[in-house]
Structure formats: structure tokens, C-alpha cells
Structure 1
């Protein structure tokens, strides 16, 4: 079994503010920090720090050594990462006094994924291997089709949500990891339980993991449903919380833990993550969970 995460790599520019900026408003930031991030990078680190052997595929620009080094220090295999003439992806993130965030994303090298590179990456993987995808890189539908043809178990985090996702070959997805906004986009339902039920009806074979922030998380498959409480902590920065939850949940299932145990493991890891600033730097190691 090998774990491949074909995902984004971003440099995060994080600004602390008392409240988020409004249209036409200018205000001074309390502080600025630079972190390695991107949903792909974060989830690779979370899976690796949870104990899984992880390969990361994606592209960086000339300034991307920092991102590659961050993955390597977290135990991720970076041999498949490609180089692009485009600048590395980056984000501008506001974090307010309640620990909430809003994110402006520039795709850069993440949008320079082509079919030749996809074929090069997938050539080393096949039946029994796992593929994790988000929606921050180009040609995600093509990656899904090629990976399914090679027998990979495909996990999709449809973030950021766009209407184009509805045209992807979603019938090939074995596990969805999504939040309330993404679930509403798929189903039109604002109630999380109704959204989960609708998703499980549409994709009865797939695991559905619906994260609800401080309200916990729901898991469903077919007619089965489980609820996982969130562990209350003082939130400092929620930027990588969902990615941490996703990475640790995947790790638990791949290790053979029961779904309930995997959910609890993920919730404990996410609670520790939000108590720290930054994205990649806030993701805990498995040994820190006790």
C-alpha cells in the first residue's frame, strides 16, 4: 500500500487583524507571518505526522524550495514534486481575534499540472494504493479518471468548491471529505444531516466525512451515520484544522482502525492544531496526541 497526495503547495502570508476587512476599508494588520501551506501540503503533512508513508505530487516555482523542505522535514517523500516556470502558489490569509480565517488564493504553479506530468506520477501506483485530491490544482477530473483506471482508492476533498466540481467523474470517488459549505454546494441543503443523507443516497458506496468546525463532524456510508464531537480548546488559528482532521482520519482508516476510532483520532488532532498559529506548522505529530 502506498499513499499518493496529488495536491497544492502554497506559501501562506498570514495577517492578524481584529476583524476582517470590509469592502473599501483599509486598516493596519497586527502582525504578518509567512508559512508553508496549501491544502495538499497540509494534508500530506497531517498523514505523514499521523504515521503514514506519503508521496506528494504537485508543482512549485523558483521560490518553492521552502515548501519542499517543509514536506521533507515532516516525513513526506518529495521525489515526485515537479518544477514550473510559474511562481509558486500563494495565499493572503486574514486571521481575526476569534481565530477565524478568510483566504485569497493565487494558483500559480498549482495550475501548471499537465497530462504528461500526471502520467509520470501515476506510473508508479496501482491496485491497492490510495490517492488523495483537493481542488487547488489543474486537471483534477483527468487525474481521477486515470487513477481509477489503474485501480487506486480515490479520496476527494472538494475544496475550494466550484460548480465545475459537479461535472467531475464523481462516481469514481471512494471517499469524500467536505465541510458544510461544500456539502451545501453538492446538495442545496443547509442542514448538515440532510446534506449528509443526500450525499449518502447519491454516492452509497462512498465514505462521507462532513466536518462541522466546533460542532464536530459527521460520517456516513449508505444508511450508516456516526457523529463525532469536537474537543473544545481556545482557538488561535483554524487555518489547517480541516486538513489536519482529514489527514488523521485517512491515516486511521488506512491503519485499520474502526471509523469511530478514526473520527476521534482526527478530532483530537484538529483540536491541537487550532490551538497553534499557522498552517503546516500547527499540524501535530501523532506522539503529541497522547
Structure 2
């Protein structure tokens, strides 16, 4: 496919701001089925912001012709899509999932949705954040590539597009690894890939006029029947208060009392 016809979809997820130093404390629901999300502020997942930025940069280099922002969830997900549009995405795709079903939506169903959209849109490069900061599953990109039977470049810290080939420098435990992928492919963004831009006020206003298409999972042939059942969600145990000691001898004595030495 010539580059001037190439579409670039980017998956963006909406997460709660519960891992920010200025955010609310996570509270478990009284029935132990999950965490309280009512009244909690949400924003675009930081890794997804990096994926959007990379897609927009590829478009600015004229390596892709269109950036499509995709999000799955309730009506509020359109706010996240608008953020991506303000960053430079051309149009949005909202896969509408009712709030009740969204609570049990897993990476398995999201991956099937993204794979179906990739086939429907005729794309050959799909960018995602490597994981969402609320559940830290780190599964969607890998499973999407499996459903599509496409090569994948996960934890990308550098992406170079050259014709029908993609070079991805990725972070591994021992350092950096470089892989060369034949398009179509799936790439997941790591923190060092880029620094996302701030959406300017003019672009925020323009984003309000950009198109967001709404589809349902059933339109894509995807069933949302849960594959995993949450048995119980519990608060972590409270940490015991520490003990101050005056000397090394006191420290050794305390460690012996507790069975540490």
C-alpha cells in the first residue's frame, strides 16, 4: 500500500487519576466487586498519549496520511478521543460499551475489537500504549497482534518507518533490542519513545468539530461475554508502625526478636 493511502489507528484508553500524587485515594466498593470510580477524575492513559504523539509525528513526516483515535467504553470516552484529536489525530472512532458491561471489559475483548477495526479500516500499522496505568495488564497490544496474525514491536523506545518495513528499538531486561518488522504490524509505546505535546487552545477548539464515529461491538462481530470473574477485591493490609532504635545493638536485638536474623 503506498504511504499516501496509509491509515494509522491509535488506541487510547480512559483511566482514573488514582496514581497521581495529587489524586484521590483508591476505595474498594462495599460489595468487594471492584473499586469506586464515581466522582473520580479520568484522563487519557499516559502511554496512550505517547502512542498518539508518535502517530502524529509520523503524519507530520508524511509517512502516514490519516491518524484515527479509537477508544472503547461509555459516552465519557469521547472526551479522551477529543484529547487525541486536539493533539493532531484526524478523526475518532468510539466503540460504545455501556457502563455496566465496561466494568467487566477485559484486554481480550478490547483486542478483538481493535483487530476487527483494523481489518475494517484497512490499516497496516496499529499503535497502542504498552499498558494502562489503572490495571497494568500489558496484554492488549500482544493479543491484538495475535488475532491479526501481525508481527509486533512491544515496549518501543524508537520507531523508524521505511516503506513497508518498520524498525523498532525496544526495551528489554538486559538493555535495548532492535527488531525489523514487515508491515502490517502492531507497536506498543514505552515511556522513552517521545514527549507528548500539549494541546493548544486553537487545536482544542478545532477538535470539537472533528468527526467521531460511534459503533457498537456487535457491529464488529465481537461478543462482550466476560471470560474472567472477579471473586473479590480487597484493600491491602495496613502497614505496621515502625520502631526507632538508638544503637546498632538495639537494632540487632529487634531483628533477633522478630526472627529476621
Same-fold status (TM-score > 0.5): no
Larger RCO, structures 1/2 (Cα 8 Å, 6+ apart): 2
TM-score by length of 2: 0.41
TM-score normalised by length of structure 1? 0.37
Larger radius of gyration: 2
